[in-house]
Structure 1
Amino acid sequence: MTIPDFARSFLTFRIDLHLKPSLTASHKPPFTVNNARIQIEARCKISDRISGKAQTFVLGAACKTEYVGVDRGMWTQPNADFCIILSTDSFFILKSWDRNNKGVPRYPASLGEQPERQSGLVRDTYERVSIDVRTCSAQQLESAQAIIQATLANEPLVGACRFCLHDRYDIEIDFPIKTMNANEREWIYQVDTGPILFPDMSADCPNWINSFHLAYVAFNRADWAEFILQAPTPLNESLSVNHYSRIMTMTTQNTVFQARYDQCE
């Protein structure tokens, strides 16, 4: 049995302004080439029972908007949180400023305002992308006692949640378990980790990449999970921010694996 080795898994996107103009930047890039290597936070595989086709998406670790390679003044102002989701042919960028609808222009200004959720085809935007998911042998932990013992021994853990949408789409979400609660007296554990990828539950189309939300997941049993999704969250009548506030609860198949780093690829 193998699982993703998230500590050694990366996505990379390459921008070369001599070959393709920038479509996602909010400033003029200081240089014409950049390879952005980002650690993979989570993976989501969606399989269609009718067509037999499957799509895989990966979530890159969050970073901040920046001027790459300058001597001073590296952070853009106003600054945004930046996350990218990639498949082999599509991308989805999530940007969050101090409030929604900030109105930050793209570069060049003729492209209009910078969207908070921007998707497109890799071939139109990047010179190339790569997704390198390394794998590692693993042992499935079958009981709460086994999970708790591995947790307290500081073993590396990976989680998987599986569920079905519309009796057609099988969803599998894989992620490193960064936070785990463990009670060795009553043998209770609880995963609380993220961010992960969570698809829109109402989606029923092949363009899944537009449907994703960032989420955290909690579970303490094999058949139930609760997710909290990032969504525009009102502060008052005229102001909202992106915050983890939308709760989804559902029947799932949850698995905890212990990674075996002596048998990694």
Structure 2
Amino acid sequence: MRTNRRVFVVGGLAAIAGGAGAAGVDGAETGNADTAPPDAPLCLDYGLSFICNTARFNAVRFWVESRTIVIDDRTGASTEFYQCGSCKSENTFAEKGLLKEDNYDFLPILGDGQWLIFRRRAGVRGTYREVRKTEELWGKPVLKLHMAQRATPLASWEEIRDATAAGLPIVSRTEINSDATGLRAVIECPVKTMNISLEKRLYQVDTGPIAFPDLTKPYENLIECLSLAFVAFNASCFADFVVEQPTPVIEEGREVCKVYHYSRPFSLPAANTLYAIALPT
């Protein structure tokens, strides 16, 4: 693997990167989203993509922070999951005391007619993961998705360097697969941190959270395969991940508690692609 770390020609994702569009999610409406054939979506414009809900008690809007497309190559079926931005537990629309005293991080993922809700408290307690049907929470979600109108693949280190220095938004795609299950996935997200070594002519993506799919076994309910993670890569052929999970806190050789933390990093073969997004004119 190390001999390939200087290979900067990005891996191809031609099967899903040919055109522009936004695929719908079961149980959701696509609103005024840009559309195109479902087998050829370009990357989302993450500055303009939201999920708007319709419940009268709270028509909450979530920002789309990343998306994960899971494809079953044996059946041809594909499912898109939209990971939304995090917020805090709150007493919504209260006169005062808007944030809950026993506070926790709240992060939703939408896909296949369901919400996967993560609640991260100070320690490992309570309900960390919960799956609910969309109609049980904030009504039918409306996908306000917009595709990047001009997304240019970055095919060399020089192009990655120049797009980074120019302040252009960059979106990454990481494709992973499992021969055992016939599943593959494309993880797409805006690159929040891009490292550039002018001396070594190297780049390194470090970004998250993303919705990481466990492809090693079949899940009766596909959304259950997702976990929160960060992704890092500096070549086209592999990616490293670190997943949020119960992690012991050790003091003086003794476990004092467990918290949800990004821990136990691992590496997978992958095909990574970077896109520069043109600024509005």
What is the TM-score when the length of structure 2 is the normalising length? Answer: 0.79
| Contact 2:60–2:138 (CA under 8 A) maintained in structure 1 | no
Measure, in 1, the Cα distance between the counterparts of 2:176 and 2:136: 33
Q: 2:84 aligns with which of 50, 60, 72?
A: 60
* Residue 36 of structure 1: aligned partner: 60
Aligned-partner Cα distance in 2 for 1:88–1:11? 14
Looking at structure 2, the residues matched to 179 and 248 of structure 1 have their Cα atoms a distance apart, in angstroms, of 19
Q: Which moved more, 1:162-171 or 1:221-230?
A: 162-171
Residue of structure 1 in register with 2:4 after alignment: none
**TM superposition shift of 1:199:** 1.1
Q: Aligned-pair distance for 1:123?
A: 2.8
For 1:21, the equivalent position in structure 2 comes to: none
2:184·2:215 contact (CA, 8 Å) conserved in 1? no
Q: Name which of 118, 122, 131 aligns with 2:134.
A: 122
Query: In the alignment, is residue 197 of structure 1 matched against residue 211 of structure 2?
Result: yes
Alignment correspondent of 1:254: 272
CA contact (8 A) 1:3 1:259 kept: no
Matched to 2:199, the amino acid is R
Q: Where in structure 2 are the equivalents of 1:108-147 lying within 5 Å?
A: 115-136=127-148, 137-147=150-160
Q: Provide the C-alpha distance between the structure 1 equivalents of 2:78 and 2:220, rounded to a whole number of angstroms.
A: 10
1:120 Cα deviation after fit: 2.3
Residue 193 of structure 1 deviates from its aligned partner by 0.6
Q: What corresponds to 2:246 in structure 1?
A: 232
Give 1:15 shift.
Answer: 3.7
What pairs up with 1:94-113 in 2 under 5 angstroms?
Answer: 94-101=118-125, 103=126
With normalisation by structure 1, the TM-score equals 0.84
Number of residues paired by the alignment? Answer: 235
Letter aligned with residue 122 of structure 1: T
Q: Deviations over 1:8-36 (max 9, x none)?
A: 111233444xxxxxxxxxxxxxxxx1011
| CA–CA separation in structure 1 for the residues paired with 2:183 and 2:163 | 32
| Inter-partner Cα distance in structure 2 for 1:77 and 1:199 | 33
User: For residue 86 of structure 1, what is the aligned residue in structure 2?
Assistant: 110
SS in structure 2 of the partner of residue 232 of structure 1: strand
Matched, 1:245 2:258: no
Q: Is the 8 A contact 2:237 2:269 kept in 1?
A: yes
Q: Does 1:46 align with 2:73?
A: no
Deviations 1:92-134 (A, max 9, x none): 0000111011x4xxxxxxxxxxx21000222333421122221
Alpha-carbon distance in 2 for matches of 1:238, 1:208: 35
Distance 2:120 2:159 in 1: 39
The Cα of 1:167 is off from its aligned counterpart by: 5.3
Q: Does 1:10 align with 2:50?
A: yes
Per the TM alignment, residue 74 of structure 1 is displaced from its structure 2 partner at its CA by 0.4
Moved more, 59-68 or 7-16: 7-16
Tell me if the contact between 2:205 and 2:231 (Cα under 8 Å) persists in the aligned partners: yes
Q: Is the 8 A contact 1:12 1:35 kept in 2?
A: yes
Q: Distance in 2 between matches of 1:37 and 1:210?
A: 23
Aligned counterparts of 1:150 and 1:120: Cα–Cα separation in 2: 40
Q: Which has the higher strand share?
A: 1
Residue ranges of structure 2 left out of the alignment (5+ in a row): 1-18, 20-41
Please tell me whether the aligned partners of residues 88 and 131 of structure 1 are also in contact (alpha carbons under 8 angstroms). no
Note the alpha carbon deviations across 1:189-210, whole angstroms, 9 max, x for none: 0001111110124331352211
Kept after mapping to 1: 8 A contact 2:177/2:215: no
Q: Pick from 81, 93, 99: which aligns with 1:69?
A: 93
Q: Which residue, 138, 145, 154 being the options, matches 2:167?
A: 154
Contact 1:199–1:211, Cα closer than 8 Å, also in 2: yes
Q: Which runs of 4+ in 1 moved over 4 A?
A: none
Q: Alignment partner for residue 223 of structure 2, among 193, 202, 209?
A: 209
Name the residue aligned to 2:201: 187
- Tell me whether 251-260 or 199-208 shows the greater mean CA deviation: 199-208
RMSD between aligned alpha carbons?
Answer: 1.7
> Secondary structure of the residue that 1:149 maps to in structure 2?
helix
SS at 1:185's partner residue?
coil
Q: Which runs of 5+ in 1 are unaligned?
A: 17-32, 104-114
